[in-house]
Amino acid sequence: MRLSISCDACRQAKVKCVHEGQPPCQRCSKSQIKNCSLTDPRASKPRARRNTAPIKSPKKRKASSDVSPGPEIAKGRVSGNPLEPRCTENPMLALSPAVVVNAVETYRKKFPITNFLHYPTLISDISSDVHSVDSVFVASLLSLCVRFMTSEELEAEEVYADYARKHLAHRVLEAPSLYLAQSLVMISFYEWGTGRPYQAWMYSGMATYMIQSLLKMSDDSMEHNPQEFHASQTQYEQLVRTYWCCFAQDCELSSGARQHFALSFSQISVPLPISDRDFTFNHTPAQRLMPADMNKNCLLANGLTIEHGLTIVTRGFDIFIRILRFANEHRRSLVSLSSNGSVTPPLLVNWQRLKEELDEWRSLQDITVHYPATSVQTHVALGYGELFAYINLVHCMSILFLHRDRFLSNLKPHSDVFHEMNDAQGEPHTIEQLFKAAQQIGTILTALDASGAPVMSPYSGFSVFVAAHINMYGTIVPHRYPGGLERAEEEKGRNLVYLERLSKLWPVGRSWVNTRIPHVNTNTTNNLQWRTVQDANRFYETVKSTQTHAESEIHSPRGFALAGTLDEYGDIRSRPSARAATAESRDTHSSHAAASSPGLETSFPRDAVAGHEIETDMFQWPFIDGSWSLGFDAGLDGLWSNSGLFDPNPSLR
């Protein structure tokens, strides 16, 4: 691309300097000119700093941190400049090319929704000289992939994440580059999975703004030098894919949080990714899809196959996030809609529009992308098993949150809900859709695991977390559940085992599965004791034995106090200190309750509230934080003060 920034050699020769945003440029690369350094002639030269080593411009994908340290840093003294990273040992120097290539292949399979790397080029660079690849980029990659790899050369993932964080803090203030933006996306995913949502949000935001600036420069190049622009389509496609990966990540991090996500699909003018085949083989399609083309009226958007999986899943996340936000913001109104049809027409129109968008998105996909119409094993054989799972997980989760509140947020006893299905939301098969979607979440992940391509990510964990609750609900209405009570219990058990496995890989999963296992029967999962999941399971067992006596006209409104406090799995408003205090208080209460009632292992007293009130509260179970049990002790006042709805710092919302 032709940019205003150029190298000294091209400037002296008075020729165009074509590069990708970082050295070497095409001319220096072909002429084998060393020390290619990109500079902006409009920028003033910085003054030399005392007691610091000069920072050289990086070579191709090579971080400035790889330059030999100055004498003072080598002796262990740290410069007083806060922008300079402390000298730490480079853990990438001990890695062989085979290990790094293996990490790249692991990344391709395990993180399909961040598929922005041109693997032929990257693998070629690693094979030629592994140390020529940017060490910060490699560290960010390894921070995600080490947990799935086994090699004596590898350190713990935190070692690589720490290295990446320290050097990103310095380099993010330099000129933007594609690989720096991609490193920010990867380290953001790491922070999110580690349970640090605020840090993840900040890294993701930096990546988004950086990739937007690079796209702006590429647009300028296309306008002034179209021939040179079209000669670098692979680099441009990486920019496009990184941008859309930022969009998908933005949706995932936003989830059900109250903040508005930064990007709007309908207003974006960046073209959608081309097919994986065209990208891999450097083919330029005659036409490209734009976000506005994703409808049934555009022939190019119809019949999308798995090779357009990044486009499919990105649009899916856009729809899912808006469904989730709609469900959270209008939970009380949706309950009225399913109870007595008193909802105002505009809300019903919005609900129908979201449903139409979801149905249209699904109709644009080729049948080979649909599960269970197409088997998991077919896509595993092609190397697309994980991407196939994500597309269908997003679809199932959209269905769950679109229909959830008709049943799970209802103020009436669940036994009455099924007699009131005459409104616009009340198709006779709605509850079957809900149960079927929850089933499919578990079965597709189980099939992938059996095929040697397990999916273990924060989003898949969140999906199973929600599905577990739906399946538990199915145990109290087995006549409505496909397969009956036995199938509902089986799916519930699989969900619990999956969550336990995921919590060992991703710390964020421990907030869903906080294990305390007094004894484990290896032949069954029924004796596994999870505080969150098992308490919910115990509740549903209680409901099954008392549901025939639930005759109350209306239930306690405290369920709405709990509803919505944690519909998301990465709320940037979370404050660790407050949550830690809550957890400590809950632990203290649980120990006291256990001591006073030896036969009761649950974290709330047996007679604290009536059975039908517990039912209303616990119908919100997948969407509450650690403070839910405090409400049973402190009464309604304690519940409301700890519900999360009344944030003492509203400016943080």
* Residue-wise pLDDT tens digits, 540-578: 666 666 654 443 333 333 333 223 333 444 443 333 444
**pLDDT confidence of residue 331:** 63
537 compared with 35, residue with greater pLDDT: 35
| Extents of the domains making up the chain | 1-43, 81-282, 303-554, 555-653
* Residue-wise pLDDT tens digits, 351-398: 889 999 999 999 999 999 999 999 999 999 999 999 999 999 999 999
Q: How far apart are CA 198 and CA 203, in angstroms?
A: 9
Average pLDDT of the residues in 602-607: 35
Give Cβ neighbours of residue 619 (< 8 Å, ≥ 6 apart). 408, 409, 410, 414, 473, 559
* Residue-wise pLDDT tens digits, 315-334: 999 999 888 888 877 765 65
Q: How far apart are CA 448 and CA 468, in angstroms?
A: 18
Q: Sorting pLDDT into bands at 50, 70 and 90, what band is 524?
A: very low
Q: Is residue 627 pLDDT above 90, yes or no?
A: no
Q: Sorting pLDDT into bands at 50, 70 and 90, what band is 217?
A: confident
The token duo for 540 is 């549903």
Q: How far apart are CA 124 and CA 138, in angstroms?
A: 14
The model scores a pTM over 0.75: no
> What is the dihedral angle through the alpha carbons of 133, 138, 141, 143, rounded to the nearest 10 degrees?
180
Contact 228, 221 (CB under 8 A): yes
Q: How far apart are CA 161 and CA 173, in angstroms?
A: 19
Q: Is residue 607 pLDDT above 80, yes or no?
A: no
* Residue-wise pLDDT tens digits, 266-303: 788 899 999 999 999 999 899 999 999 999 999 999 99
Helix (H), strand (E) counts: the chain: 26, 2
Q: How far apart are CA 450 and CA 53, in angstroms?
A: 54
Fold of 1-43: CD2-Gal4 (4.10.240)
Vertex 318: Cα angle to 432 and 289 (nearest 5): 115
* Residue-wise pLDDT tens digits, 38-59: 876 544 444 333 343 333 333 3
Give Cβ neighbours of residue 350 (< 8 Å, ≥ 6 apart). 326
**pLDDT confidence of residue 358:** 97
Per-chain mean pLDDT for the chain: 72
566 compared with 485, residue with greater pLDDT: 485
* Residue-wise pLDDT tens digits, 394-451: 999 999 988 877 665 544 444 444 444 444 445 557 788 899 999 999 999 999 999 9
Other C-beta atoms lying within 10 Å of the C-beta of residue 156: 12
